Amino acid sequence: MPKGLVVIPTYNEIENIENIIRAVMVLDDFFHVLIVDDNSPDGTAQKVLTLQQEYDGRIFVEIRQKKSGLGTAYVHGFKWALSNQYDYIFEMDADFSHNPADLPRLLKACEDGADVAIGSRYSTGVNVVNWPLSRVLLSYFASVYVRIITGMKIHDATAGFICYKRNALENIGLDKIKFIGYAFQIEMKYRAFVKGLRLVEVPIIFTDRTKGQSKMSGSIIREAIFGVILLRIKKLLNTI
């Protein structure tokens, strides 16, 4: 049976990490979990190491020395997944904004022909719970903006709940990824789009975190706004 790895970056997620891992573990032994922790001072990585003993051979942890950004954490995890021969690689948040029960649906989309299956908040309307209206509008219109600039026909360009086939990550060019926040999510999808890979949206319900603190910041938003333009320029110059 092909193997699936769920990559979860963490920084100070002690309130969520045990529950999110257990929620994945009850699904199926198909799914393994890799936690990429940026040396959380709250003991997140230590909790994962304890859980490893309970779920032998299904939980892994990579501890980086400092907080270096979401994008670099995912690239680290993706490279680890490829070197360990996983066929399906997922990205998912630690805070339950993404429902682990939707992982099999993303997997099914890739098994049915998608190279990249996107857990989409906006493909069937606006499916977001507990976000203030300002945050919903920012996220929704960011995706509209990305569609206009890049030409990608997807509704949720900043989505972070995704299943990649192994060949997709091998073709995207992980060493060329430059962005670290929301722009990272856009860059991954755009590189897949430019390579001619098949992107499919799977409708999900996104629920805002109830524990821990959001990592959103003004610099992340600015990176996304200007990063999209840079990606388009690189495509026009054939340097992406």
| Look-up of token digits 């001072």 | 41
φ/ψ (deg, to 5) at 164? -110, 135
Share of the chain above pLDDT 70, in %: 94
Give the pLDDT score at 111: 95
CB neighbour list of residue 152: distance below 8 Å, 6 or more residues apart:
146, 189, 190, 193, 199
Structure confidence by residue, pLDDT tens digits, 69-110? 899 999 999 999 999 999 999 999 999 999 999 999 999 999
Range list of H helices, 88-132: 103-111
Burial degree of 153 (CB within 10 A; 0-12, 13-18, 19+): exposed
Question: Which residues of the chain are under the pLDDT cut of 70?
Answer: 1-2, 209, 211-221, 224
On average, the pLDDT of the chain sits at 91
Give the pLDDT score at 213: 61
CB neighbour list of residue 53: distance below 8 Å, 6 or more residues apart:
none
| pTM, 2 dp | 0.90
Give the pLDDT score at 212: 57
